Amino acid sequence: MAPIDVSKIRNVALLSHSGSGKTSLTEALLFNAKVINRMGAVENGNTASDYEAEEIRRASSVQTSLAPCLSDGHKVNFLDTPGYDDFRGEAISSLRVVEGAVILVSAIASVEVGTEQSWATCEEANLPRIILVNKMDRENAEFQRTLDSIQSAFGRRCVPLNLPIGEAQGFKGVVDLLDLSAEAPPGMEAEVAAARERLIESIAESDDDLATKYLEGEEFTAEEMRRSLKKAVLAGEIAPVMAASSTGNLGVAELQSAVISYLPSPLSSPEVMGAAPAGGEKTPVAQSPDAPLAALVFKTAADPFVGKLSLFRVYGGVFKANSEVWDANQEQSERIGQVYFLCGKNQEATAEVGPGDMGAVAKLSAATTGDTLCHRDNPILLDPIAYPVGHYVMAVSPKSKADLDKMSSSLTRIVEEDPSLKLSREPSTNETLLAGMGDVHLETTISKIKRKFGAELTLQLPKVPYRETITAVSRAEYKHKKQTGGHGQYGHVLLRLEPRDRDSGFEFGSEVVGGSVPREYISSVEKGVVKAMSQGALAGYPVVDVRAVLYDGSYHDVDSSGISFEIASSYAFRKGMSDGRPMLLEPIMKLAITAPDSFTGDVIGDLNGRRGRIIGMIPLGSSTVIEADVPQAETLRYSTDLRSLTQGRAAFTMEFSHYEGVPPVVGQKVIEETRREREEAKA
């Protein structure tokens, strides 16, 4: 199939709070486009876009699915995104490659926190949008109540484009407020007239020429209204509100028509900019088949049978099968075999994918999500995808020895598939850490690893990387003397340990005079001290912020050696550590929580209960940014707890700040627990 004209392409993300019906809407859209011959149901696990085992088990989306629909010579690439907050990284990557969005609102629940987040994300990305009041056929569905909720949350620019005929079990369809030839259903004449007048006012307010005609009492033609409405939608001055029942396939065709009529094509959106890999000013990407290739990988799927599947959006040029492309980010050539159009998990082979369109290619060797694919002789870098940072961290371990070999490779592949996951290792606790958006995100990831790669992994709360230090000057002496026949071992050191300022690190010094410890052995003394610092005297945590000074010692002409002085200094350090009033240190995290003003008091009270210290409060519109220092031990489940505390309306960032002393009562508890754990591990 030849590439479709870019002006007839629409790339649209479906966004909402979880459970508002995006996947059911996708089914209806695909059914109407004759892509599928029957509509599946989410609860039955047989929909086109929710095909992963985790999605079927949860009866909700956990990843973005592509659903292309052809209608009236146009192609609309709908991206069905997850609504649950833990998977918002999927929604963010989708928004990077679309020109418009449809935000679904449940006619039963009205505006929810996920609706607010969807709107805010569209505002930030400057995306034109349509609001769909879905589930109009459900019990307790009410359009006007939902519309009031929408307008209260997002303003009066949210204006109905059609009205429902009936509600709940009586919902029969919609009446178009722009179609001058349509007659209002009996009993709805006044309601339709009032809504139509409000729509006309909104259109007139956004168009100076129509405003003049409106004030002079002149009628608008349908064409004038549609043209001006599209202009207002593209400018973000109007967000049309429509009604539908996706499961009943009522109002869905009208939505499809509105998407084509009022949401932008790639050509009518802001210019896409790219820069040369070497840097320099950004230049517009020509969205033409004749332009150099510029495509962005916006999603990577790891498949145990097909291998890595990369979904891409073409901006300029044509992406061809059986060709070669250049990965500008990895600076590596990629051999392209077969290219596909995707519909959920189904793949349709194609010879090429043109500008503005989306496709997929399998088995790219180096390309990852966010990479730009181009031609080597015309390299270009598109802006990468900015993923949210997940602060819910768990320690990952293999369930059995058989899973140990698979753990590293499977974690690497799953992080490649989902860049909102972050993999790291904490050397002091010897733990592999996986960070994500929340508990459901990580649990789903572990389930996916088991299914795709056959590795069974377990999650547990990570250990806090405590440290130890001293608070007083101490002196310690140790003589290592061993005679075994022949050459023996002899090393004798006297150390002085001094506390240093916090975060100043370790320092070694020598005050030896008169050659009591030969110069060639001093480095061995330092080496022994450094080794001993790996385990402190209180609970075996690494020692920091100490100055060790070798101030005297002795040696034997025959029996002394580097290893003898290394052993002696290790024992001397441990003794000096015990005598230096050791103290446990804990990592302190800097939190910045953005919470609606109505939840500020609850958030501050919760932080106080976590031994937090409020650093500052910054007003931000109807929200407040609360800055606080909180011990890491008190933040291990903060992502989940904050969501529960604020109904999901708060967000936060967290980064390591510094180490400071643990209060004695807390420290003693940590020491006892650590010792008990180590004894159990030995047993």
Same domain, 65 and 114: yes
**Helix, coil or strand: residue 233:** helix
Residue ending a domain, choose from 580, 602, 632: 580
Same domain, 568 and 428: no
Same domain, 544 and 428: no
Which residue range forms the structural domain that includes residue 553? 468-580
Same domain, 28 and 54: yes
Asked if the structure places residue 230 within a domain, the reply is: no
Residue type at position 468: E
Alpha-carbon span 294 to 276, nearest angstrom? 12
What pLDDT sits at residue 180?
A: 66
Same domain, 96 and 242: yes
Residue type at position 78: F
Asked if the structure places residue 489 within a domain, the reply is: yes
* Structure token digits, residue 294: 């510029």
Handedness of CA 285, 287, 288, 289 (dihedral sign): positive
β-sheet bridge partners, residue 565:
none
Listed in order, strand segments (DSSP E) in 107-196 are 129-134, 158-160, 162-165, 173-176
Determine contact, residues 588/629, Cβ cutoff 8 Å: yes
Question: For the chain, how many structural domains are there in total?
Answer: 5
CATH number of the structural domain spanning residue 531? 3.30.230.10
Asked if the structure places residue 184 within a domain, the reply is: no
Using the 8-state DSSP alphabet, how is residue 388 labeled? P
CATH number of the structural domain spanning residue 258? 3.40.50.300
Same domain, 353 and 410: no
Same domain, 123 and 249: yes
CATH number of the structural domain spanning residue 426? 3.30.70.870
Alpha-carbon span 256 to 151, nearest angstrom? 23
Using the 8-state DSSP alphabet, how is residue 474 labeled? E
- Picking from 448, 421, 414, the residue whose alpha carbon sits closest to that of residue 435 is 421
Alpha-carbon span 310 to 227, nearest angstrom? 38
Report mean pLDDT in 10-residue bins for the chain, 683 residues: 84 95 94 90 78 78 91 93 89 94 97 94 94 96 97 96 94 90 82 92 86 78 88 95 96 97 93 84 90 95 78 96 95 94 91 96 92 94 90 94 90 90 91 94 93 93 95 96 82 96 94 91 96 93 96 92 95 96 96 96 96 95 95 94 93 94 93 85 71
Asked if the structure places residue 681 within a domain, the reply is: no
CATH number of the structural domain spanning residue 370? 2.40.30.10
Asked if the structure places residue 677 within a domain, the reply is: no
Q: How far is CA 446 from the centre of its chain?
A: 16
CATH number of the structural domain spanning residue 603? 3.30.70.240
Same domain, 403 and 504: no
Asked if the structure places residue 220 within a domain, the reply is: no
What pLDDT sits at residue 230?
A: 94
- Picking from 361, 461, 446, the residue whose alpha carbon sits closest to that of residue 407 is 446
Total residues found in the chain within this entry: 683
* Structure token digits, residue 161: 């484009």
Same domain, 407 and 302: no
Q: Across the chain, how many H-helices and E-strands are there? A: 16, 35
Asked if the structure places residue 187 within a domain, the reply is: no
Asked if the structure places residue 531 within a domain, the reply is: yes
Alpha-carbon span 325 to 230, nearest angstrom? 37
How far from 622 is each of 121, 288, 592, 627, 652, CA to CA, in Å?
17, 44, 16, 17, 16
Same domain, 253 and 363: no
Alpha-carbon span 406 to 377, nearest angstrom? 39
- Answer yes or no: pTM beyond 0.95: no
Same domain, 440 and 370: no
Same domain, 368 and 423: no
* Structure token digits, residue 612: 């937090």
